[in-house]
């Protein structure tokens, strides 16, 4: 009854990649810089698995231990990008060689906006790169007066649509996003269209709600999720995993409302009896704290997960393997509020796993996917190197 439990701590990077300068991310090191800015940050359970033993500048500050209980290392991203989609797709087996288009300088071109406005039957506001929390407090009142949705983007390949829940109901906003998704293909095939509902009464007081929803492109290749489902295994997706993979390769989904909910659902599903994959994304570190440069909030969210980790581990079955990783960085200590091009940690734990194995620096996130495939017998042949034989106990 073999299972792979994959938990993605969204945006929890562990040091700049060699090509970080091309992305404007020199100096980014999400985990280490949080520790430096907030020295009391304590991730004792993650460090017990080997988090502070990972190779890299100042990583030992997190808390190096003499005898790690898990296998540990870090992975570099081969895909050209630093966003949610490329990161998750790569760890599931797809390396994105051609970057998704971005529109930070001039917004979306006229042909895209004309087609979108024709599809929804109304004009739009915005159409420039901005922080989501800021743009609603600049254009929110005008939106409420006109009913026009707010369109904006960021350094990521995203077409974001913000609307007040009392002006454009959430389900209507989702319909609008689906229309945008159909338009944004080919040359303008952004990675994600994102619904960004908000509430409030006037500029300066608008806040986003938990009704966000992502509309991704369909994965461009076969993933471990597809292979596991085809083999008749259970594939449970917790958090925004279902959106990232456009609902493909899953047998059960649970969108959840926040990290705490996602952690509790992960514990719940781990208790159950099934064979296959449990894939969880915990997004708050990125969405609520990383993008808002909230060091205190980010650190507290990490500590909360760390405190719940023993409970997750306690529910694991004899043949379960737990993988803890991330999809990119989002260093809250830097001036930028965008994602950062970073390595991500990989921690591996379970009764079948040797303790204290240093996995070193992996060349691609897809090494994780190949390892999961080999363990579950999925037959994948990704552009990656499995580390399964390095971590499995003999016999």
Q: Report pLDDT digits (tens) over 94-103.
A: 999 999 999 9
Tens digits of residue pLDDT in 214-247: 999 999 999 999 999 999 999 999 999 999 999 9
The per-residue pLDDT for 114 is 98
Residue appearing with tokens 């992502």: 214
Distances (CA, A) of 303 to 31, 45, 132, 327: 12, 9, 26, 19
CB 92 within 8 A of CB 63: no
- Average pLDDT score over residue span 320-330: 98
- Provide the 3-class DSSP secondary structure of residue 213: strand
Residue 31 has pLDDT above 60, yes or no: yes
Which stretches within the chain are classed as H helix?
30-37, 44-49, 84-91, 110-120, 132-146, 170-183, 224-230, 241-244, 259-271, 284, 295-314, 366-376, 388-391
Give me the pLDDT at residue 163, please: 98
pLDDT higher than threshold 80 for residue 303: yes
Percent of the residues in the chain that have a pLDDT greater than 90, as a whole number: 98
Provide mean pLDDT across the span 35-54: 98
Q: What is the pLDDT of residue 150?
A: 98
Across the range 309-332, mean pLDDT stands at 98
Residue 75: predicted pLDDT: 98
Helix (H, G, I), strand (E, B) or coil at 363: coil
Give the confidence band of 155 by pLDDT, cuts at 50, 70, 90: confident
Could you give the CA distance from residue 186 to residue 206 in angstroms, rounded to a whole number?
Answer: 34
Say if strands 71-75 and 344-349 run parallel, antiparallel, or are unpaired: antiparallel
Mean pLDDT of 289-300: 97
pLDDT band for position 7 (50/70/90)? very high
Contact by Cβ (8 Å): 10, 287: yes
Q: Which residues of 287-306 are buried (b: 16+ CB within 10 A; e: fewer)?
A: bbbbbbbebebbbbbbbebb
Please say if the pLDDT value at position 325 is more than 90. yes
Residue 145 has pLDDT above 70, yes or no: yes
**SS3 letters across 215-233:** EECCCCCCCHHHHHHHCCC
Query: How far apart (Å, rounded) are the C-alpha atoms in residues 58 and 35?
Result: 10
- Lookup: tokens for 11: 């945006």
Q: Given this model, what pLDDT does residue 395 score?
A: 55
Q: What is the number of residues in the chain?
A: 395
pLDDT confidence tier of residue 394, bands split at 50, 70 and 90: confident
Q: Would you call 360 helix, strand, or coil by DSSP?
A: strand
Can you give the pTM of this predicted structure? 0.91
Query: What proportion of the chain, given as a percentage, has pLDDT over 70?
Result: 100
Average pLDDT, the chain: 97
- Of 360, 299, 371, the closest CA to residue 56 belongs to 360
Across 243-265, b (16+ Cβ under 10 Å) vs e yields: bbbbebbbbebbbbeebebbbeb
Written as six digits, the tokens of 117 are 């406005």
């Amino acid at each position: 009854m073999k299972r792979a439990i994959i938990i993605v701590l969204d945006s929890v990077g562990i040091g700049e990649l060699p090509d970080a300068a091309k992305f404007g991310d020199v100096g980014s090191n999400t985990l280490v810089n949080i520790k430096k800015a907030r020295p009391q940050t304590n991730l004792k359970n993650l460090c017990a698995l080997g988090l502070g033993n990972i190779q890299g500048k100042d990583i030992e500050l997190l808390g190096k231990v003499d005898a790690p209980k898990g296998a540990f290392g870090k992975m570099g991203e081969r895909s050209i990008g630093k966003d949610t989609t490329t990161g998750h797709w790569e760890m599931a087996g797809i390396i994105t060689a051609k970057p998704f288009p971005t529109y930070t300088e001039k917004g979306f071109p006229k042909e895209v906006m004309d087609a979108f406005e024709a599809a929804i039957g109304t004009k739009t506001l915005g159409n420039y790169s901005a922080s989501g929390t800021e743009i609603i407090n600049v254009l929110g009142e005008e939106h409420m007066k006109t009913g026009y949705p707010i369109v904006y983007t960021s350094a990521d390949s995203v077409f974001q649509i913000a609307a007040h829940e009392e002006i454009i109901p959430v389900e209507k906003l989702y319909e609008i996003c689906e229309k945008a998704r159909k338009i944004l293909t080919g040359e303008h095939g952004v990675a994600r269209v994102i619904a960004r509902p908000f509430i409030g009464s006037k500029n300066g007081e608008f806040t986003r709600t938990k009704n966000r929803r992502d509309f991704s492109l369909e994965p461009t290749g076969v993933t471990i999720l597809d292979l596991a489902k085809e083999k008749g295994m259970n594939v449970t997706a917790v958090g925004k995993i279902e959106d990232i993979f456009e609902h493909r390769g899953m047998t059960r989904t649970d969108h959840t409302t926040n990290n705490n909910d996602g952690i509790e659902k992960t514990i719940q599903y781990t208790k159950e009896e099934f064979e296959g994959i449990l894939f969880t994304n915990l997004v708050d570190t990125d969405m609520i704290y990383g993008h808002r440069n909230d060091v205190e909030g980010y650190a507290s969210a990490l500590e909360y997960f760390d405190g719940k980790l023993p409970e997750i581990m306690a529910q694991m079955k004899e043949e379960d393997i737990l993988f803890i990783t991330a999809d990119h960085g989002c260093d809250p200590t830097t001036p930028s509020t965008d994602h950062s091009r970073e390595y991500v940690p990989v921690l591996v734990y379970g009764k079948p796993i040797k303790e204290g194995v240093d996995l070193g620096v992996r060349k691609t996130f897809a090494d994780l996917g190949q390892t999961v495939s080999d363990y579950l017998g999925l037959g994948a042949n990704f552009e990656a190197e499995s580390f399964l034989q390095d971590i499995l106990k003999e016999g």
